[in-house]
Chain A
Amino acid sequence: MEATSSADSTPSIEELQRSDRPFVLVDHAGLVLAINQAFQEAYGWEEKDLLDQPLSMILPEAFQMSHHLGFSRFQATEFSTILAHPLRLKTACRDGSVCVSEHYIVAEKYGDNWLFGATLTPLPEGTQPDA
């Protein structure tokens, strides 16, 4: 089935997945389908911790509710302000710490369901998240 990208000029999920940056793949329900080795090394999470778990697990608590509602709104409206451009967001690490990473998220639709892929690049300590 041919995928429909969220934006034609943006890289595909597959392209993101091929990069050496930390990568996470999420299904339409917001459950983690896959993470790469770079992700595990960068944030301490292992596949057994995250696979089939809500993506909100790698988000700080204060962002989780907003993530669920925003994720749901995209499902309902297919309109998002966070896709296909770099975002500096906080990410929760396996050890409970929080760091700022550059997220680049793309969405592709397969049939009735969306698939989300994102690369996360940890930023130096002290970097402020996006305004």
Chain B
Amino acid sequence: MPDAERAQSRERTLIHEMRQVLGRMEAALAMIRDSLVITTADGHILWCNQSFERLAASSKLQLLGRPMAATLPLDAQGQPLLPSDLRELGTSAVSSRTVLLSQEPLRALELEWHAFEADRSNPLIFWIRDITDQVSNENLKRRIDLAERLRTESEIRNTRLQEEQLTLAAKVVECPVTGLPNRRGLQRRMTEALAILKDQPGVISILFCDLNGFKEINDLYGHHVGDDLLVEIGQRLQSALRPGDMLSRLGGDEFVVLTRSTTVSSDPFRLARRLQRRLQMPWIVEDQAIRPSMSVGIASTDDPAMTPEELLRRADLAMYDAKASDALSISSYDTSIDTKVKHTIVLRRRVRQAIDNGELALVFQPIVNLHNGETVGQESLVRIHTPQAPVLSPDEFIPLAERTGMILPVGRWVISEALAHQRWLQDRDQPLLTSINVSPLQLKQEGFADWFLLQASHHGVDLCRTAVEVTEGMFIEQLEHTSHELGRLRSAGVQVYLDDFGTGFSSMSSLAELPIDAVKIDRSFIADFLIDPRKAKVLQSMIALAQDLSLTVIAEGIETESQHQGLLAMGCGLGQGYWFGRPEPAALGPSSSPDGPRARAANASDLAVQA
């Protein structure tokens, strides 16, 4: 083969190989997702891959020779992505730009172009990427960042607001309702007063005043009436103070007086009495007269090292003691009050535990015919039997249960158990009547009588063999409601006993108006009538009056044969007491014989329970 032919053959082979390589490259570039375009220096398309055909929505044959800018979609603002003459893009070798094609749905491209500087015709190669996903993620991230920043800013703003509120609150020393100094104002004044004690010896006293029954007034008449009453009380208390005394309202129904004297004296007590008297004048609301009352706890100190908090705590404890103690409702702090309060807390816990753990138990004390000693009935009484714990005296836990409202669950349990016991007696043909104590709080409950009758029906009890024992106080507080509820019970056959007769405030003349069947003469008359002729006369009168009114008379607390005989001589037919039998658990059965020895083990704390 001549050299020329050989050279030509080599060239053809080389061209063939080059075409193979170029063809593979072109096929590969057709497959990639990014768009590739080669243009002339001014932007006319010389070549593009399939991805660009899709982007431009045209075939390659349509695109070749056209200005690239004209083949691209417009951006989100309707502007061309590239200038029509790409020489305006500048002379840098590599450049790029990101363009937004649309907001909704989001679509974005990144354009990058290179100039073939070695080529004299200066063609450009474009690389176009769809970065929608990337932008979406970035957009999402930006939104999250924005939300996070807003949240942080909001938190900072809230914290600042809270701080400002606290700062503002710290400046507020007045109660908005009464205009009196509030707790903060009081503490400030107490701090000042205690500080003065360092230079000027004297006594600082705190009178902690708590209104009685204020919640009921609020509930009954609404908070606007309650607020008016607080203003009125503030004015009344203020008018009873001496110059230099300070009245404040801690909140709710609590008022506090700060007073200073030169020596430890009875001044604070007298001031407390004066405040109580000033308070108790009737206040008319909605044609009803309210007679406000309050309990007062007093704490005094001459020690400048005493903290306001401690002095206030002591007065508060004394007030707590006053509420639970005497009729005056005034108590001065001493160290025993701390002990008493702790004891009360323990007691309350034990009563609650007894209710929850089923540690309540009933005992029954016989009521006998004084003429023949025959048991005709029995009074049911509640006890708490906590294993491995000291016995709780009913004297302790019943008043506490009354004060705290725990008497309601206790009372419901007592009624249910007593009725069950009555059914037990009926089933054994024992013709005894069971009496059940009902507390004032229980009787105040709407529908009490209906609930009682439902329980009796549930147990299948003959209602003529049941009685409820109530006290005079219930008629004084709510005569109409009490009479209505008891009337419902009586009309169903339940008897009503007036308990502790003689100790209440009702007059003998009002006895005729009460819906009752029997009176139970209080043990205090029975204990003394043999040695106190005046009590004997009163007792005789009570028995005679009750009999004149056709009421049954039952004497309580008979502990001796002499008392038994004395009552018989006065015409009293029924009685109960340790002389005839102590309260015993039901399993022992009711006693039917007046065997005196049990009377010698009398326990004065075994009171009838106001269940």
Contacts and interface: CB of A to CB of B under 8 A. Distances in A.
Contacts of B117: none
Interface in A63-89: 63-66, 68-77, 87, 89
A65 B18 CA distance: 14
Contacts of B20: 72, 75-76
A72 B12 contact: no
B23 A72 contact: yes
Interface stretch (B55-63, B298-306, B342-350, B382-390): B55-63
B12 A29 contact: yes
Contact of B47 (A29, A69, A74, A129): A69
A22 to B, nearest CB: 20
A89 B46 CA distance: 15
Most chain A C-beta atoms within 10 Å of own C-beta, residue among B21, B24, B64: B64
B57 to A, nearest CB: 11
B15 A131 contact: no
B61 A77 contact: no
B38 interface: yes
A60 B65 contact: yes
B62 A131 contact: yes
Nearest to A71: B19
A130 B23 CA distance: 23
Contacts of B23: 69, 71-77
A76 B46 contact: no
Contacts, number: 74
A131 B61 contact: yes
A89 B65 contact: no
B323 interface: no
Contacts of B60: 66
Given A62-B45, A73-B23, A28 B62 contact: no
A30 interface: yes
Contacts of B601: none
Interface residues of B, number: 27
Contact of A63 (B18, B25, B30, B65): B65
A62 B26 contact: no
Contacts of A90: 65
B64 A30 contact: no
B327 to A, nearest CB: 111
A87 B61 contact: yes
A20 to B, nearest CB: 27
A74 B23 CA distance: 7
B44 interface: yes
B22 interface: yes
Contacts of B27: 73, 76-77
A95 to B, nearest CB: 19
Given A62-B44, A69-B47, A76-B27, A130 B61 contact: yes
Contacts of A89: 61
B16 interface: yes
A76 B30 CA distance: 14
Contacts of B61: 87, 89, 129-131
Interface in A28-55: 28-30
A77 B20 CA distance: 9
A75 to B, nearest CB: 5
B48 to A, nearest CB: 8
Contacts of A73: 22-24, 26-27, 30
B45 A76 contact: no
Given A66-B47, A73-B23, A76-B27, A29 B62 contact: no
B64 A131 contact: no
B19 to A, nearest CB: 4
Interface in A1-36: 28-30
Contact of A66 (B15, B18, B40, B64): B64
Contacts of A87: 61
Contacts of B26: 69-70, 72-73, 76
A62 B48 CA distance: 12
A62 B19 contact: no
A127 to B, nearest CB: 14
A89 B65 CA distance: 12
Interface in B216-237: none
Interface of A: 28-30, 60, 62-66, 68-77, 87, 89-90, 129-131
28 contacts: A29-B16, A29-B19, A30-B19, A60-B65, A62-B40, A62-B46, A62-B64, A66-B46, A66-B47, A66-B64, A68-B22, A69-B22, A69-B25, A72-B19, A72-B20, A72-B23, A73-B24, A73-B27, A75-B19, A75-B23, A76-B20, A76-B21, A76-B23, A76-B27, A77-B24, A129-B61, A129-B62, A131-B62
Interface of B: 12, 15-16, 18-27, 30, 38, 40, 44-47, 58-62, 64-65
Which 10 A-B residue pairs are closest in the complex by CB-CB distance? A76-B23, A62-B65, A72-B23, A72-B22, A73-B23, A72-B19, A69-B26, A73-B26, A65-B46, A75-B19
